Chain A
Amino acid sequence: MADAEDQVIVGLEVHCQLDTKSKLFCGCDTDYRSDGPNTHVCPICLGLPGAMPSLNKKAIEYAMRVAKALNCTVIHESEFSRKNYFYPDLDKAYQITQYDKPLAEGGYLEIESDEGGERKIRLTRIHVEEDPGRLVHMGNVERGKYSLVDYNRAGIPLIEIVSEPDMRSPKEARKFLNKLRATLEYLSVFDSEKEGSLRVDANISIKGNERVEVKNITSYKGVEKALLFEVTRQKNLIRRGQRIERETRHYLEARGVTQSARSKEMENDYRYFPEPDLRPLRVKSWVEGIVLPELPDARRERFIAEYGCSLNHARTLTGELKLANFFEKVVASDPKGLSPLAATWIADTLIGELNYRDMDLDPVDPESFTELVRVLKAGTITDKSGVDVLRVMLDQRLKNETRETPAGIVARLNLAKTDGDTGAITAAIEEAINENLKALEDYRAGKGGALNFLVGQVMKKTRGKADPAELNRMLTDALKKREA
């Protein structure tokens, strides 16, 4: 841990879109992303004069589910308030949100701390509010000629989860966010893949100094980046003996930097008061009736117990609902036989290859992956060939080409292990030793690297088809024979 002088303190305010069918206060369809601007809009979410909100029960149910999963206390009586401010994306010039009577308070979320082990991050509150519309700036933000507004997003239900300043590093903030995302997805209330479905404001300070609010973080990776930038900036200021000012800064995603917001915005006086067109909520008693599904922590423990996964693999696999489901589908036909290999190949190899391609898991069908794991388990190809097969599979899916089966790829690329063909391996071993007599000497002198070097040479000659374990055994035998 960094020394106390440099202690980083982070708190997050996370806004997530709740995955309801209709908007928070009207019946407009929330599935707007593939449609033209201002096509999912009605008098209510356009803020036409005279229109009144009517509250979507499902949004409250979803928020209650989150509250229960995060161990929050649902408040006996909560209500909506108006947050008044002018901005072109805000149709009514106020946002209907919750202020002094939020839906739920308290609670916590456990994350893996930087020192290892689990750590509780306390939550302050959870409340429900409406999303504003979306602005498109003509030109750039600073010098835009005018704005264009699309109100399709206006009125999408949001849940705001506010944490206590319990995180101690940008990395922990990222872990918190990932864990929160997983939890919301397990609860079937949130779809992290929808563009802009998550937005984060972060409060960050170096112990003993003023706190800075960083607004406008719109991606999971952005949180860590923005906070790392802030830590460096703030530490540099302190090092130079300058004061850190209490201020709001905007995160500019494209440039990876934060920028001071104009002071005018700081002066916002939101003039909250209870929304007179809605009635209060008394829903505390609903909590008992909520049956929570298996959540990430429970599933992680089950993966360890049921499939024999390592803690790290289990954590990775259950860290995303889709990945966990994928794993269970892959091993479904033979959990005992396939789990160890499947866990390694999904958690270590597949994720890396997907990230490298910036590719989504969706196109990868579990059936094909099961087949790949079966081929690997049968020992008919080497691990290295396995990676090659996987790469071909992913590339075919990415480029939308005809999909070959793993076995088909093995056959076409002639990747089957040569272990049936010991003659070829023996020949290659002899060749390799003869070409590298220095290595033979080194081996005799007890230099460990020599064996590995020779393995490499043989692999090259057999184009990777030799099984490494088998090769090792045969090579050692051959070397011993020469010694004799």
Chain B
Amino acid sequence: MIEKKGRALLLGDGPVITASAAVGGKKEGEGPLGASFDLIVKDPYAGEKTWEKAECLLQKKAVTLAINKAGRSPTEVELLFSGDLINQCTPSCYAAVGLGIPSVGLFGACSTAAEGLALAALLLEAGACDRAVSVTSSHFCTAERQFRTPLAYGGQRAPTAQWTVTGSGAFLLERQGSGPRVRGALLGKPVDMGISDVTNMGAAMAPAACDTLAAFFRDSGKTPDDFDLILTGDLGSVGHRIVQEQLGQEGISLDDRYQDCGLLVYDSARQDTHAGGSGCGCSAVVLAGHILREMAKGSLKNVLLAGTGALMSPMSLQQGESIVGIAHLVWISAE
């Protein structure tokens, strides 16, 4: 049953994440969370002709791995939620083609992982289906060419710039089974604080994360102390600091339990990733790999993920629009 408390949606026992899979690229595999990936695809082309096809392959691998891990077959899955960063989400479309699962394409920029999880959990809880998969992907090369400059172009990255994660994370959610449960969700409001600097996405998305987290603590009756870990999707070092400071000023102290997936996925000093990781794959691989493994071990019980996204396109930026941020939240509990 879904209990609506203000904007917070509480799911009672909630659907179970019975399996998840994280697929990463070479750089991600070399990062601090390398050991938590189910599969590392070292070749950025993944043996394909284009990077877009490579990203599609990563997504397909993540979905099939997650389904296989639970001992299920794709025919048993009733709904697929998928998304990525590329125009019209084509990597997701092509990845879904062979699977034969009814699909819902999502675009929430880098917040899509949390958005997909939230929607899948809500539909399961509402009884619309018994088994659903949520998957997202991003690829450094497909994102660079769409949003920035050609890969071989000689540019310098700003210290606030972030590095798009090459990877895909998939989650299988079921109404019955064992595993952590999705106990709550909150869907975010788009927030525009006038930031138009593409090399500082963390700053553009942080206000949305603040809004979502503040709304959740206000409406759900929970406090940060109820959670072992509070995560934002890909705010990087700048956005992490902003959320910490701004929520602190509103009397919500997150302290050390606040982390950002973009900061966890790379070792910025060693891997030259500046402010941290980003992309639809960022929070997906961190959650599907590292976090859910820790929850299975019992070292984490209650985790909040506010997936953050920058809703913009190269066209909107060239037309002088600022970057709209959004943050969708899911509460995952192993209790």
Q: Do A and B come from one complex?
A: no
**Chain B residues close to A by CB (< 8 Å):** none
